[in-house]
Structure 1
Amino acid sequence: MTREQAPSLADVARLAQARLPRDLWDYVAGGSGAETTLAANRAALEEVSMLPRVLTGTRAPDPATRLLGSAAAAPFAVAPMAYQRLLHPDGELATAEAAAAAGVPFVVSTLSSVPVEQIARTGATTWFQLYWLRPPGLVESLVARAEDAGCEALVVTVDVPVMGRRLRDVRNSFALPDDVVAAHLADGAASRAHEPVPGESAIAAHTAATFAPGLGWADIARLRASTSLPLVLKGILDPRDALLAEESGVDAVVVSNHGGRQFDGAAPSIAALPAVADALAGRVAVYLDSGIRTGTDILRALACGAEGVLVGRPVLHGLAVDGARGVGHVLSLLAEELRDAMTLAGCADVAAVRALSTVRTVRTR
């Protein structure tokens, strides 16, 4: 994939859609329910306008920062995403390799199709994402594996008590091929993800059998007491939950509606971000996830109170088109767009971006 073929992330997405079977594209692109939250994420981001600063003398902005204490070449990380070998034979290894080359963290999913130990050997800065699981002792085992592999943080996804009803997958009776597995799980329910049933999502059936729906604040407190790794909660939208997260001793929260794939009707992440950031007032790091598609979107998030963002679907698009090179292209485009946007906004560094003022503009469609 060349810059001429794909000068923007939207172009990468079009190439990926043309390459992938329809049911697989729907799995990547789809949301839950009527996909109102999925659409609202983009609409709300586009309503955030910034007031650029002028005469700042900015020539070569520096987007480098620290995320959870680790150096990052830019204020973004690769979001946790399951089963990446669906999109390319190298799967998560390719994505992690590209993240390492770009100098940004890679978040390993519980449902990764490659084990964390192999991913860590790519040299990427890795964080490990946890779903709360039913099999006794499995969460503790995964935490130990993440620690032993050298992961630098734990990211607990808190917005999946059950999987959202993803109608595209239901209509397509979507199931995993036999050669793509959840590499961290060896439970008896794993086969359900590979058994297509008309009018059902096999992945949803596997999730229902494997995930524990009763995750509560006491579980977070126990996890906090059991590990010295930085602890992040992903899926916070209400400032009241952000304050409870702070009381539980977490190091960061990710303001996220799961990319519109969980509660259809949840607020757009960017709309919820300012209130969460205000409530935490810098005492706990705040990141944003859901809908990021351009370097300007990263500026929007930082100006609204985030310290960084997680990038999801565009990475999968790049992976589908050209493996590690495709992911590298996506991450390079984001970094280039970010530097251009910083220059045009008069921002020499990330701190200056976070000091930008914003206004909301309702766009007609």
Structure 2
Amino acid sequence: MRLADFERAAASVLPPSVRDFIAGGSGDETTLDANRHALDRVFLVPRVLRDVSRVSTDTTLLGRPAALPVAVAPIAYHRLVHPDGELATARAAKAAGVPFTAGTLSSVPIEEITAVGGSVWFQLYWLRDTAQRLDLVRRAEEAGCEALVLTVDVPWMGRRLRDVRNRFALPAHVGASNITTGGTAHRSTAGASAVAVHTAQSLSPALTWSSVAELRERTELPLVLKGVLAPEDAARAADCGVDAVVVSNHGGRQLDGAVPSIDALHEVVRAVGGNSEVLLDSGVRSGTDVLRALALGASGVMVGRPLMWGLATAGETGAARVLELLAEELRDALGLSGCDGVAAAARLRTVR
């Protein structure tokens, strides 16, 4: 079984518009497709005659232990695909020993997600409403979140044509539970995505480096910037005291034509010079992909869509199986490449 099998299984149980909302990208979906092709172009040079009788996937992310170099990426509205929503995926992440990233647009409140236990990070969108934005940071801190992940590549949602054609809107039982909204995301409109309209109304396009400095001053939690592709931006983030950057093109859902994340990774790693951790997001679909990212200098990856497919297929059990399979594949890839652990993977050569 592969992670791709979960997507096929989920397609048989989800309404087509919901599947498109999760699977789709922006524009012509050039970057969406390129993420996968770029990962497949990275070939590993395995080492031999190494003792791999014991292979460990244990590591640390943001200074805390993790059973895998993997964090669950933030994805909005898990209750679109299963009634338990983020509670089920958070429980699966806890069982797997990896961080779960709860989103600003989560369909379950932060406090209920952290009550599940395990390691929880909170993804923050820079809201227009300053009071709501500051309240989200306070709530994340008080709920016990272990990091803040500021998404920096969404001044507004990219034009996602599948959603436009489907006139996609949230069903009545699903909403953004962490923020006050006017219900725009639930009103279907011809020639538009209701979710995109709601996002444009809620998010501030005035997010700048001064905003990052403000947030850094506001919280003592580890701060992560998600959506960095340019090495110059990564270097500046490290200079601002950011603890980690996530090399991400938002899974091909923002600027269509943006560089595949894996192609941007090495230069970002060089730019931060060890002053910030670097994670890879967008297109990761196997344990071999995780190993590719580690070999190119990442400390870990974020995985999103496969968890949603697993959740849709079998709830918590399906999400847990996705992470179990990823762990099995990574352990296999490490051993077959001559690595007895995550640290050894950083010394592997790659060829394109």
TM-score > 0.5 by shorter chain: yes
Instruction: String of CA shifts for 1:107-129, please: whole Å, max 9, x gaps.
Output: 00000000010000111200000
Letter in 2 for 1:171: R
Per-residue CA deviations over 1:238-287 (Å, capped at 9, x if unaligned) read 00000111121100000000000000010000000000001112111000
Q: Deviations over 1:298-344 (max 9, x none)?
A: 00011011000000100000000001000000000000000000110
Opposite residue 356 of structure 1, the aligned amino acid is L
Tell me the amino acid that sits aligned with residue 333 of structure 1.
L
Structure 2, unaligned runs of 5 or more: none
Quote the residue 1:273 is aligned against.
265
Aligned residue number for residue 57 of structure 1: 51
The number of aligned residues is 352
Letter in 2 for 1:319: L
SS for the counterpart of 2:20 is helix
In structure 2, C-alpha distance between the alignment counterparts of 1:79 and 1:101, rounded to whole Å:
16
Selected match of 1:343 from 314, 320, 335: 335
Residue 274 of structure 2 is aligned with which of 282, 291, 303?
A: 282
Normalising by structure 2, we get a TM-score of 0.99
In the TM superposition, what is the alpha-carbon distance from 1:24 to its structure 2 partner?
Answer: 0.7
Which residue of 213, 217, 236 corresponds with 2:209?
217
SS at match of 1:137: helix
Q: Which one of the candidate residues 296, 302, 309 is aligned to 1:304?
A: 296
The runs of at least 4 aligned residues of structure 1 exceeding 3 Å deviation read: none
3-state secondary structure, aligned to 1:346: coil
Residue 70 of structure 1: how far off its partner (Å): 1.2
1:320 to 2:312 alignment:
yes
Residue-by-residue CA offset, 1:32-56 (whole Å, 9 max, x unaligned):
0000000000000000001001000
SS of 1:169's partner is helix
Q: CA deviation at 1:354?
A: 1.0
Structure 1 unaligned regions, length at least 5: 1-6, 361-365
- The equivalent residue for 2:176 is 182
- RMSD of Structure 2 on Structure 1 (CA): 0.6
Q: Which residue among 92, 108, 120 is the counterpart of 2:114?
A: 120
Local SS of the residue matching 2:130: coil
Matching residue's letter, 1:322: A
Q: CA deviation at 1:138?
A: 1.3
Secondary structure of the structure 1 residue equivalent to 2:44 = strand
Identity percentage of aligned residues: 60
Structure 1 range deviating more: 11-20 or 140-149 = 11-20
Aligned mates of 1:162, 1:110 — CA distance in 2: 14
Residue aligning to 2:85: 91
What is the match of residue 250 of structure 1? 242
Match of 2:16 among 7, 22, 26: 22
TM-score scaled by structure 1? Answer: 0.96
Q: Give 2:125's aligned residue.
A: 131
Residue among 181, 197, 203 paired with 2:195: 203
C-alpha deviations, 1:110-160, integer Å up to 9, x for none?
Answer: 000000100001112000000000113111100000000000000000000
Query: C-alpha separation between the residues in 2 aligned to 1:118 and 1:240?
Result: 38
Q: Quick one: which amino acid aligns to residue 133 of structure 2?
A: V
Instruction: Name the aligned partner's letter for residue 359 of structure 1.
Output: V
Q: Is 1:82 aligned to 2:76, yes or no?
A: yes
Between the aligned partners of 2:130 and 2:30, the Cα distance in structure 1 is 36
Is 1:146 the equivalent of 2:104? no
